[in-house]
Structure 1
Amino acid sequence: MRIATRFIRPPRSVWRSLLSASLAAGAMNAHAAIPASERAVLLALYAQAGGSGWADHAGWGGAAGTECTWHRVVCDAAGDHVVQLALTSNHLSGTLPSLAALIRLRIANFDSNDLGGSIPALAGLAELESFGVEANHMTGSIPPLAGLTHLNHFSAAYNDLSGPIPPLTGLTQLQQFFVLQNRLSGPMPTLTGLTHLSIFNASDNQLDAFGDVSGLANLTYLRVERNRIAGPIPSLAGLSNLLLFVADDNRIEGPLPDLSDLVHLSGLVLDHNAITGPLPPLGGLAALNDVVLDHNAMSGPIPDPPAPNHLVAGISTLCPNGFTPSTHPATNAAWNSATGVSPWNADCDPDRIFRDGFDSD
């Protein structure tokens, strides 16, 4: 429920005081001197990333003591250290220099530019909270992230990165991790212990195995579709806030794990794999909107829909698989509605599974 609040205008004397304080802080920062090593990083960034062609490069390259006034450079209150570089969508090109000397850096955002080369080492940036190079042309591997105990957001999606995802163990503040649409390989890292993690998206890569995900009570989105993941789905126990689990177009084998803890799950998308066994009971998954399981090798009678049933009409897909109809007419009617096919099992011809294959890469 929205609670209305009345805006009370402060006296003019208060506004004058705030304005004076702001101007004083700006003047202080304009003349404060960051360390020469930090200035050198900024100058290297300007030189290596095509600074003269940036959409806005106001102030960059100015005299010592003006660095905190340069466009999208933020310093701490005393003007002693750079704490933020927010250069998203600013026509950066070329490569990133070493950032190691920016010892107080908390936010580094280079998303949506034309940067190439590799991601610089991050391991020594002990105060780093957010790092983004999304939507560039970065190559090479993701550098080690060990020791970044304040990191809560990491995005390197939409690049040309390769190699494994580094271990995420110990990144206890991590909330969002985006590496989709690269060429990353090897196993998905273990996520257990990342108790603040909300989003993990590594779709459209070349990962070949799941990592442990159990017990992540804050995880809401888990996306690993269009990889090369083989083997079974790991335990999903404790994922009580998971909203969306998408792992279609892989090589997943074995039966589905128990789903009963996924009480907020709205979407289950696992089509085009080699999953076997029955569809587990769905009775307690009242938030479920769609179930996409076609092109697997599942079998057994279709279970009752969730109760209450919020499956959206016409968007679930269950066949081809080896599912058989329920003995309860109401259950079959509910799946007819959810799939938009009547009867819902019209395409669940077991022979078709092996005739057409699993359509995985």
Structure 2
Amino acid sequence: MGRLATCPSTMKILFGFMILTVLMLICMEPNQVEAQVEPPYPPDYEVRALREIATELGKKDWNYNENPCNNKSSWFTPPPPPNVPEAINNSTVTCNCSFPNGECHIDGIYLLGQDLDGVLPRSLVKLSYIKVLVLYLNYLNGKIPREWAALKLETLNVAMNRLSGPIPSYLGNITSLKYLSLENNLFSGTIPPEFGKLVNLENLTLSANYLVGKFPSFLANLSNIKELRISSNNFSGKMPDIFQSWKQLEKLEIQGSGFEGPIPSSLALLHDLVEL
């Protein structure tokens, strides 16, 4: 009899606990929604620039009805899980939303393995806050636009395309560059002397092109260089003894580059070198 009397009380306690749990979830929901609020749209002129850039590149699947800064949908490729190799295909636009008044500006475009068959976009210059441009592994042709010389790029990777002609001297005006990869294209001619102005450069990759001429001694100015790859070209002559200028060099790739004679002995002074 006593046990039967306690059942209603037990049921009331359980029911009350369920109600309390539901109320807690309801109270938490607004906070969760607030934490997931979308960032602001970038300025209209930047969205218009994206449309022009897409037309020049041959990019046809960006959804302009969505916020390019939302890290979703056509504007973002999720990173792979831990311990899973990164996919070659990537279609991502990144934004910097740390400006005053919560403004967002596009600061990066990553289009890897997208089968793009257009040209390098002159309209990129309309994205004045952009720092990273990666167009690796596509079918882009033509030349590097002169307009890009006005940008403050830190990373420029247009490797594995069909770009041709001489490497333009005006790339030397982008002194903010830290990473520059032009490998596996159809570039010809010599390395422009203006590259000696790229004093912030840490990685320079020019392999697998049709570059000629003697080793450019002005590259000794690149005192911050950590990785230099110039293999599979048609250079000539001996390498100058300039390795002592590259005290931070970690990786050097020069095989099949056309140089003659022994490698200068100053190579032994590169204590950080781990790959040759």
What TM-score do you get using the length of structure 2 for normalisation? 0.69
Q: Is this contact kept in 2: 1:117–1:137, CA < 8 A?
A: yes
Q: CA deviation at 1:236?
A: 3.2
Shift of 1:231: 6.0
The answer as to whether partners of 1:41 and 1:97 remain within 8 angstroms in 2 is: no
* Count of matched residue pairs: 220
C-alpha distance 237-19 of structure 1, shift in aligned 2 (>3 A)? farther
Which structure's CA Rg is the greater one? 2
Q: Identify unmatched segments of 5+ residues in structure 2.
A: 1-24, 76-91
* Pair 1:45-2:53 in alignment: yes
Contact 2:107 2:131 in 1 (8 A): yes
Percent pairwise identity: 27
Partner residue in 1 for 2:69: 68
What letter matches 1:223 in structure 2? E
Q: SS of the counterpart of 1:228? A: coil
Map of 2:184 onto structure 1:
158
Once the two structures are TM-superposed, the CA of residue 153 in structure 1 deviates from its matched residue by: 1.0
- Name the SS for the 1:48 alignment partner: helix
Q: 2:40·2:69 contact (CA, 8 Å) conserved in 1?
A: no
RCO higher in 1 or 2 (8 Å CA, sep ≥ 6)? 2
Q: Indicate whether 1:129 and 2:154 are aligned.
A: yes
1:273-329 CA distances to partner (integer Å, 9 max, x unpaired)?
xxxxxxxxxxxxxxxxxxxxxxxxxxxxxxxxxxxxxxxxxxxxxxxxxxxxxxxxx
The 1-side partners of 2:243 and 2:31 are apart by: 52
Higher helix proportion (structure 1 or 2):
2
Give me the CA root mean square deviation: 2.9
Q: Per-residue CA shift, 1:108-164, capped at 9, x if unaligned? A: 0000111111122332112x1111111111112222332333311111111111122
Deviation digits for residues 213-272 of structure 1 (CA, Å, limit 9, x no counterpart): 323111122222213324664443642222344xxxxxxxxxxxxxxxxxxxxxxxxxxx
Opposite residue 118 of structure 1, the aligned amino acid is K
Q: Give the SS at the match of 1:162.
A: strand
- Measured after TM superposition, the shift of residue 42 of structure 1 is 1.9
Find out whether 1:111 has 2:136 as its counterpart: yes
TM-score normalised to structure 1 length: 0.54
Q: 2:40, 2:104 within 8 Å by CA — same for their partners in 1?
A: no
The residue number in structure 1 matching 2:115 is 91
Alignment of 1:1-361 (within 5 A): 20-21=34-35, 23-24=36-37, 26-29=38-41, 32-34=42-44, 36=45, 38-52=46-60, 57-59=61-63, 62=64, 66-69=67-70, 71=75, 72-77=92-97, 78-98=102-122, 99-121=124-146, 122-126=148-152, 128-143=153-168, 144-167=170-193, 168-189=195-216, 190-209=218-237, 210-211=239-240, 212-230=242-260, 233-234=263-264, 235-236=266-267, 238-245=269-276
**Gapped regions of structure 1 (runs ≥ 5):** 1-11, 246-361
Asked if the contact 2:39–2:104 (Cα under 8 Å) also holds between the matched residues in 1, the reply is no
Q: In the superposition, relative to structure 1, how do residues 42 and 58 fare at CA in structure 2: closer, same or farther (>3 Å)? A: closer
